């Protein structure tokens, strides 16, 4: 597939590396334009670069991996009719306050989907540290293969994303619809902790909407070998 990535930060670059290794075509973009992406040209062999509109139009499957506060900056018309993978997380200290999120009335991915009404949005890649994406990838059937959660309202779109995860070295666990994606947002038991399929299912089930795991706890756990 052609994968267009809007956001050339650590997550976007890691997904690009894995996707290229799996035989997909990739275009990375950032808000400043391809002239600022010399490190991508030199460091990620085979990766195309462009501006955000070019990456969106290039994509059969798009990834939005930008700071959550800027999700409105992606024009909906660019992604009309496409599957859009959402890797965003809400960090109030970085993004400012979103009262509807603070009141647990919605999810980050629901907000993006409302902004992109013509797209099929799937939450994925937000619950793994960027440095772990390449490190933890494993061949299908490996005993220590990590699972990643996904959520979305479109079953076909989730199937496409699950297939991509398999290509990239991960099992997929369906956490439900967009309104269930809070179960693996920031500071939940499944957030950035390495689990296999059964462990991830348990962590998702243990999540409580209004209770956050202390930041120090999940950051500490995510830096060690977790329960695969």
- Give the pLDDT confidence of 41-79 residue by residue, as tens digits: 777 889 999 999 999 999 999 999 999 999 999 889 999
Close Cβ partners of 56 (under 8 Å, ≥ 6 residues apart)? 4, 6, 62, 74, 78, 79, 82
Residue 30 has pLDDT above 90, yes or no: no
Residue 82 has pLDDT above 60, yes or no: yes
Provide mean pLDDT across the span 104-128.
97
pLDDT at residue 45, as a whole number? 86
pLDDT at residue 190, as a whole number? 96
Write out the DSSP string of 143-164: TT--EEEEEES-HHHHHHHHHH
Residue 157, both tokens: 């779109």
| Residue 7 to residue 64: CA distance in whole angstroms | 6
Predicted confidence band of residue 22 (pLDDT cuts 50, 70, 90): very high
Least confident of 31-40, 63-72, 197-206: 31-40
Residue 221 has pLDDT above 70, yes or no: no
Provide mean pLDDT across the span 204-213.
94
Is 148:125 a contact under the CB 8 Å cutoff? yes
Looking at domain 2-215, its CATH superfamily turns out to be NAD(P)-binding Rossmann-like Domain (3.40.50.720)
Q: What percent of the chain has pLDDT over 70?
A: 94
- The answer to whether the Cα torsion of 206, 207, 210, 213 is positive or negative is positive
Predicted confidence band of residue 226 (pLDDT cuts 50, 70, 90): very low
| Residue 42 to residue 63: CA distance in whole angstroms | 22
Write out the DSSP string of 183-210: GGSTTSTTTT----HHHHHHHHHH--TT
pLDDT at residue 206, as a whole number? 96
Predicted confidence band of residue 163 (pLDDT cuts 50, 70, 90): very high
pLDDT at residue 56, as a whole number? 94
Predicted confidence band of residue 38 (pLDDT cuts 50, 70, 90): confident
Question: Any idea where the domains of the chain sit in the sequence?
Answer: 2-215
Provide mean pLDDT across the span 176-181.
98
Q: What percent of the chain has pLDDT over 90?
A: 83
- Give the pLDDT confidence of 128-147 residue by residue, as tens digits: 999 999 999 999 999 999 99
DSSP state of 122: E
pLDDT at residue 216, as a whole number? 64
Residue 34 has pLDDT above 80, yes or no: no
Residue 117 has pLDDT above 50, yes or no: yes
Residue with tokens 């990375």: 28
- The answer to whether the Cα torsion of 27, 222, 227, 197 is positive or negative is negative
């Amino acid at each position: 597939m052609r994968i267009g990535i809007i956001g050339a930060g650590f997550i976007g670059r890691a997904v690009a590396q894995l996707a290229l290794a799996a035989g997909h075509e990739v275009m990375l973009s950032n808000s400043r334009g391809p002239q600022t992406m010399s490190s991508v040209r030199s460091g990620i062999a085979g990766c195309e670069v462009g501006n955000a509109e070019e990456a969106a139009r290039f994509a059969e499957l798009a990834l939005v991996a930008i700071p959550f506060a800027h999700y409105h900056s992606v024009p909906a018309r660019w992604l009309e009719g496409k599957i859009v993978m959402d890797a965003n997380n809400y960090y109030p200290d970085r993004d400012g306050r979103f009262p509807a999120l603070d009141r647990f009335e919605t999810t980050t991915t629901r907000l993006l989907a409302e902004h992109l009404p013509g797209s099929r949005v799937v939450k994925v890649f937000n619950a793994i540290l960027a440095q772990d994406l390449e490190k933890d990838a494993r061949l299908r059937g490996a005993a220590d293969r990590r699972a990643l959660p996904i959520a979305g309202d479109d079953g076909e779109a989730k199937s496409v994303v699950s297939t991509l995860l398999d290509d990239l070295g991960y099992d997929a666990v369906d956490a439900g619809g967009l309104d269930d994606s809070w179960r693996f947002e920031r500071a939940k038991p499944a957030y950035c902790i390495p689990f296999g399929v059964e462990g991830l299912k348990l962590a998702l089930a243990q999540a409580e909407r209004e209770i956050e795991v202390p930041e120090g706890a999940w950051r500490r756990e995510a830096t060690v070998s977790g329960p695969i």
